[in-house]
């Protein structure tokens, strides 16, 4: 479990995705001519940048058996049924609670109560994007970071790099800069929710994927509006802080990743 392999993973994941999306991002900023949409042919490759990076880093770390073990995490479903409900429903519950509180604020603007995928492209994206990302973030990076640094520091490191990974992606779809900043903060604090679920479900990559699907089932970023983004950020921050403060079993400095990369152990 070399630190160099983890560093290689992050360099490849961020490099592959942002290199592919740099042309449409520059077009969206007006730096190069043409519509950003015309330069998005490489978007599928960009989405799967973390998976490609994790495959390469796993192969370097432990050969093809390590790659096989990485992907085997997608079928690790032996967890209590309520965790599936939590994974898929938590982002929507947080949004609805935050939206309810916001509705009590005098003069608050009207904003939708649900942000479900609105078309077939978004439905497909709600499945493919989590797969493309989570095999890398929570399948490869998180268990190694937790084993080395503990869950809190792992969440800080992964959250920051996960947010950085989204830079060109947010730019090329025309997200206003203030919302990019807030969106990256939301991704950063959301890392703690993913770490908590990962720790509580025995290091389940499948449940991490489902939590990411849940985020896309309540994807307030598609609104391109300030209020939904702030509400989501506040909700994630509050719950993340409470989990770190109160769930010491999951976030204690001495806690290590469940199934912490034991050679030969079933994932």
What pLDDT sits at residue 117? 82
**Region 225-233 average pLDDT:** 93
Residue 5 above 70 pLDDT?
yes
Q: By percentage, how much of the chain surpasses pLDDT 90?
A: 74
Is residue 209 within 8 Å of residue 74, measured between CB atoms? yes
**Region 199-225 average pLDDT:** 91
Residue 255 above 80 pLDDT?
no
More confident residue, 260 or 60: 60
What is the band of 65 on the pLDDT scale with cuts at 50, 70, 90?
very high
**Region 28-37 average pLDDT:** 90
Measured CA to CA, the distance from residue 71 to residue 140 in angstroms comes to 10
Q: What is the DSSP letter of 61?
A: H
What pLDDT sits at residue 137? 98
What pLDDT sits at residue 1? 58
Measured CA to CA, the distance from residue 1 to residue 46 in angstroms comes to 26
**Region 216-245 average pLDDT:** 92
Measured CA to CA, the distance from residue 259 to residue 267 in angstroms comes to 7
What pLDDT sits at residue 173? 87
**Region 254-261 average pLDDT:** 59
What pLDDT sits at residue 7? 95
Q: What is the mean pLDDT of the chain?
A: 91
**Region 6-22 average pLDDT:** 96
Long-range contacts of 24-33 (CB under 8 A, 24+ apart): 24/168, 24/172, 25/167, 25/168, 25/171, 25/172, 27/172, 28/171, 28/172, 28/173, 28/174, 29/171
Residue 260 above 50 pLDDT?
no
What pLDDT sits at residue 259? 44
Measured CA to CA, the distance from residue 135 to residue 51 in angstroms comes to 5
- Hey, what are 123's tokens? 């439905």
What pLDDT sits at residue 111? 87
Instruction: Give pLDDT tens digits for 79-101.
Output: 999 999 999 999 999 999 999 99
**Region 140-148 average pLDDT:** 96
Q: What is the DSSP letter of 218?
A: T
Measured CA to CA, the distance from residue 1 to residue 144 in angstroms comes to 7
Measured CA to CA, the distance from residue 236 to residue 27 in angstroms comes to 32
What pLDDT sits at residue 115? 86
Please state the pTM of the whole predicted model.
Answer: 0.92
What is the band of 257 on the pLDDT scale with cuts at 50, 70, 90?
low
What is the band of 120 on the pLDDT scale with cuts at 50, 70, 90?
confident
Residue 186 above 70 pLDDT?
yes
């Amino acid at each position: 479990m070399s630190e160099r392999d983890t560093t290689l993973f992050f360099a490849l994941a961020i490099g592959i995705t942002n290199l592919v999306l740099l042309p449409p991002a520059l077009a969206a900023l007006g730096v190069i001519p043409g519509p950003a949409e015309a330069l998005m042919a490489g978007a599928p490759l960009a989405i799967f940048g973390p998976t490609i990076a994790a495959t390469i880093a796993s192969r370097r770390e432990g050969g093809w058996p390590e790659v096989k073990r990485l992907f085997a995490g997608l079928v690790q479903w032996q967890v209590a049924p309520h965790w599936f409900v939590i994974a898929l429903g938590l982002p929507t519950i947080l949004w609805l609670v935050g939206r309810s509180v916001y509705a009590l604020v005098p003069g608050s603007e009207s904003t939708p109560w649900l942000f479900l995928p609105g078309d077939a492209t978004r439905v497909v994206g709600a499945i493919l994007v989590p797969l493309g990302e989570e095999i890398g973030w929570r399948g490869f990076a998180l268990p190694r970071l937790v084993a080395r640094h503990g869950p809190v520091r792992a969440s800080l490191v992964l959250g920051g790099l996960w947010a950085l990974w989204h830079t060109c992606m947010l730019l090329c779809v025309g997200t206003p800069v203030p919302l990019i900043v807030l969106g990256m903060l939301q991704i950063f604090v959301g890392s703690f929710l993913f770490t908590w679920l990962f720790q509580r479900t025995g290091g389940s990559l499948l449940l991490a994927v489902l939590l990411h699907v849940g985020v896309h089932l309540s994807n307030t970023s598609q609104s391109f509006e300030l209020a939904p983004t702030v509400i989501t950020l506040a909700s994630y921050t509050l719950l993340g802080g409470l989990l770190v403060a109160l769930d010491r079993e999951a976030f204690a400095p001495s806690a290590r990743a469940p199934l912490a990369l034991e050679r030969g152990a079933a994932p």
